[in-house]
Amino acid sequence: MSDNPIGVFDSGLGGLTAVKELTKVLPNEDIIYFGDTSRVPYGNRSKETIKRYAMQDAYFLLSKNVKMIIAACGTVSSVAVELDEELPVPFTGVVKPTALAAVKATKNGRIGVIGTTATINSNSYQKEIQKQNKDLYVISQDCPLFVPLVENGFISKDDEIVRLIIERYLKKLKDEKVDTIILGCTHYPIIKNAISYVMGDNITLIDSGKETACFSAEIIKGLGLQTEKSTKGNCHFYVSDTTEGFSKNAELFLGTNVSHNVDRIDIEKY
């Protein structure tokens, strides 16, 4: 089982931020990624729909004999919390590792959380942060336009549209003088530079993809599941909509061409 791939899923492209970090901390591991591009975004769906989508995504990855599943999606991690108990392989979402990193990072005890509407409404990050330290102040803001921006390639800090949307959403966090912001959706690190530009260099941004990758590596090593291969691992990508758009935008996340490694599947079969 140790040479089986790691499974990662997200509603679209955002989970690729976790994949990129996984290839750094576990360079020899094979990775199977599923992006549910035909049903993105998850963040404005009902709890029941999100849970159903998440189970389908996980079952698809299990069909590929993965040894661990990572829900690289803030919405799923916040809403479909029972997924951990229903899977036959180790599982993690992004909430716990990201919250832990924020608790360690804050200096003034004021943490901002940004995410999809479903993530923010769940209060998942606030609960996890205050489980670690009940004295910390947490202020949350949903940013529903961030995912469409990233999915359509609007990511530059020099783009006036990008800056204006960030300024509108994050004004409350700036007014509340937070010193740490959780990027509670794995799409958001792609506009990290733009967020930092608007908020200022003194703000610490916690990358959910990076923190989840490091956390997952600890789980795999702790359970003795790391591959015995000494060669570089391979990544294969699956999507539920056209491969062309995914391949093009995936380069923004991974910095490499993946078009030869992308296949379309019918997620409704799972």
pLDDT digits (tens, 9 = 90+) for 111-136: 999 999 999 999 999 999 999 999 99
- What separation in angstroms does the CA of 240 have from each of 13, 24, 66, 130, 260? 12, 27, 19, 37, 16
Please tell me the predicted confidence (pLDDT) of residue 14: 87
CATH number (3.40.50.1220, 3.40.50.300, 3.40.50.1860, 3.40.50.12780) of 95-208 reads: 3.40.50.1860
Cα dihedral angle (116, 122, 128, 131), rounded to 10 degrees?
150
Where exactly are the structural domains of the chain?
6-93+210-269, 95-208
pLDDT digits (tens, 9 = 90+) for 71-92: 999 999 999 988 989 999 999 9
Please tell me the predicted confidence (pLDDT) of residue 245: 85
| Distance in angstroms (rounded) separating the CA atoms of residues 261 and 258 | 5
pLDDT digits (tens, 9 = 90+) for 207-237: 999 999 999 999 999 999 999 999 999 999 9
pLDDT digits (tens, 9 = 90+) for 163-199: 999 999 999 999 999 999 999 998 899 899 999 999 9
Mean pLDDT across the chain: 94
Q: Which residues are catalytic?
A: 73, 185
Q: Do 43 and 247 form a contact (C-beta atoms < 8 A)?
A: no
Q: Do 102 and 182 form a contact (C-beta atoms < 8 A)?
A: yes
Longest dimension (CA), the chain: 51
**Do the two domains 6-93+210-269 and 95-208 of this chain adopt the same fold?**
yes
Please state, as a whole number, how many other Cβ atoms lie within 10 Å of the Cβ of residue 177. Answer: 11
240-265: average pLDDT: 90
The answer to pTM > 0.85 is yes
CATH 3.40.640.10, applies to 6-93+210-269: no
| Distance in angstroms (rounded) separating the CA atoms of residues 242 and 146 | 22
pLDDT at 20 over 80: yes
Instruction: Give the containing element (helix H, strand E) for 196.
Output: helix 192-199
In the beta sheet, which residues pair with residue 6? Answer: 31, 68
